[in-house]
Copies of this chain bind each other. A is one copy, B any other.
Amino acid sequence: MPQTPSTRWCPTPEQLMILEEMYRSGVRTPNAAEIQQITAHLAYYGRIEGKNVFYWFQNHKARERQRLRRRLCARHQQQTAAVAPPPGPGPAGGSSAAGVHPAVMQLHHHHHPYATCSFMPHHLGGYLGQQHQQQAATLPAVPAAAGAGGKAMLSNHQQPEEWETMEHCNAATASGGSSDELPPCCRRPLKTLDLFPTKSTGLKDECSSSKSSSCSTSTN
């Protein structure tokens, strides 16, 4: 069969490189428009959809943070019995390498080749730019008026997050934008979300679900 019916997007090295570079330069949660652009650009190197870009940033961000947490935790546990660690353990001479290369953005600007441009996580039905969808036939028997994606793209690119111990390279608002419509709902202040789920808001966890499991990496 000519077309590998791979259900999963498989990023090419180039795509990955670009994405990582973007991430490094500060892009964390691109909004719809940005995702579109990125997608269009990356499409040059192979099949890719908006949702892929979206997911990639989500996952990358989450996992980067996770990794950090784990590290800090390990370290914390090491010196646990000792004393209260200095408030700002910081990367401790780690690879603070702030030397990030600036605007890598427009590596090449040419639009189109692939750019399926359809978001919508899955089978929902990409009735959008549905113009030359080879596999349009495989689309399910969804009634008819099939809408489109459900949840969605983020909107505001809130920079600060692992900004803390990470390589907090500035170059904020990498994607230039800033002149978008920015609808009323997406201007969340910033949200101070530190590495550890402090959750000091008030009523958070319903119960005291004592989840006591060490950091041991047990195989799944």
Contact = CB atoms under 8 A, between A and B. Distances in A.
Given A33-B140, A33-B142, A180-B141, A204 B199 contact: no
A22 interface: no
B122 A152 contact: yes
Interface string A48-84: 0111001000000000001001101100110000000
Contacts of A148: 50, 118-120, 126, 128, 148-149
A117 interface: yes
Contacts of A220: 201-203
Contacts of A50: 147-148, 150
B217 A32 contact: no
Copies in the complex: 2
Interface in A15-54: 31-33, 35-37, 39-40, 49-51, 54
Contacts of A115: 145
Interface of A: 7, 31-33, 35-37, 39-40, 49-51, 54, 66, 69-70, 72-73, 76-77, 111, 115, 117-129, 138-143, 145-155, 179-186, 196-197, 199, 201-209, 211-220
